[in-house]
A = this chain, B = another copy of it.
Amino acid sequence: MRTVKHPEERKNDILNAAQVLFSTKGYQQTTIIDILKAVGIAKGTFYYYFTSKEEVMDAIIDRIIKADIIVAKRIAADPNLPVVDKLFHIIMAQSPKQGSNKQGMIEQFHQPSNAEMHQKSLIKAIKELSPVLADVIQQGVEKGTFQTKYPQETVEFLLASAQVIFDEGLFQWTAEESIHRALAFIDLLESSLHAEKGSFSFLLKRLTGEGDENNQ
């Protein structure tokens, strides 16, 4: 007997299967036929939800970013956490788990042929994450931990620069170069937010990739 699934559930099944295929087989190498087979649905069912493979990828990116934003907002709203700790937890929560589908997606973005997708996800991440981080910065301004006239805009510049410079697909830094960039970025955060020296030292490990296996 065929199971009748709720449309949202069916859509999620397609996204789950496609995400696994994209991160294991590769986006370019995955066909819509592969997705149909993996979900066990007919072509018509697929086209009821999506018009192309690209649209599936867009929906996967949206879903990953939305999930990140939910976590980030929860942390930002915690009344008991100091602002620097909030930033720490939000940034750490963005890191993909080793071997996760999110990590697989990021590897796909590093293929030159997927540059358009990479660009879309970069812009989307800046647009969605910046207001949440700006809210935390603003809390810090009110508490006197930070000082800036432009929380929203400063966060946008910081996010954009970090996403470009620390992207392993765009720049292949040596270990030493990577440490210098991490130190410089920490310095940039502290100076732009007029934060106390050392406030962002927690980022050193995160940015140089050390201790990534311990991420949540």
**Residues of A119-162 contacting chain B, CB below 8 A:** 119, 122-123, 126, 148-150, 152-154, 156-158, 160-162
Complex contact A157–B170 (CB within 8 A): no
Q: In the assembly, what is the distance between CA of A164 and CA of B113, in Å? A: 20
Complex contact B115–A170 (CB within 8 A): no
Taking a contact as CB atoms closer than 8 A, the residue among B113, B118, B154 that contacts A188 in the complex is B154
With A119-B118, A192-B192 in contact, is A156–B165 under 8 Å at CB? Answer: yes
Nearest to A186 among chain B residues (CB) is B150
Complex contact A188–B116 (CB within 8 A): no
Complex contact B194–A181 (CB within 8 A): no
Complex contact A171–B112 (CB within 8 A): no
Complex copy number for this chain = 2
A183 proximal to B (CB < 8 A): yes
A37 proximal to B (CB < 8 A): no
Q: What is the number of residues of chain A that contact chain B, defined by CB distance less than 8 Å?
A: 36
Q: In the assembly, what is the distance between CA of A119 and CA of B167, in Å? A: 12
Q: In the assembly, what is the distance between CA of A181 and CA of B157, in Å? A: 9
A27 proximal to B (CB < 8 A): no
A191 proximal to B (CB < 8 A): yes
A180 proximal to B (CB < 8 A): yes
Q: In the assembly, what is the distance between CA of A156 and CA of B171, in Å? A: 11
A187 proximal to B (CB < 8 A): yes
A184 proximal to B (CB < 8 A): yes
A46 proximal to B (CB < 8 A): no
Q: In the assembly, what is the distance between CA of A112 and CA of B185, in Å? A: 29
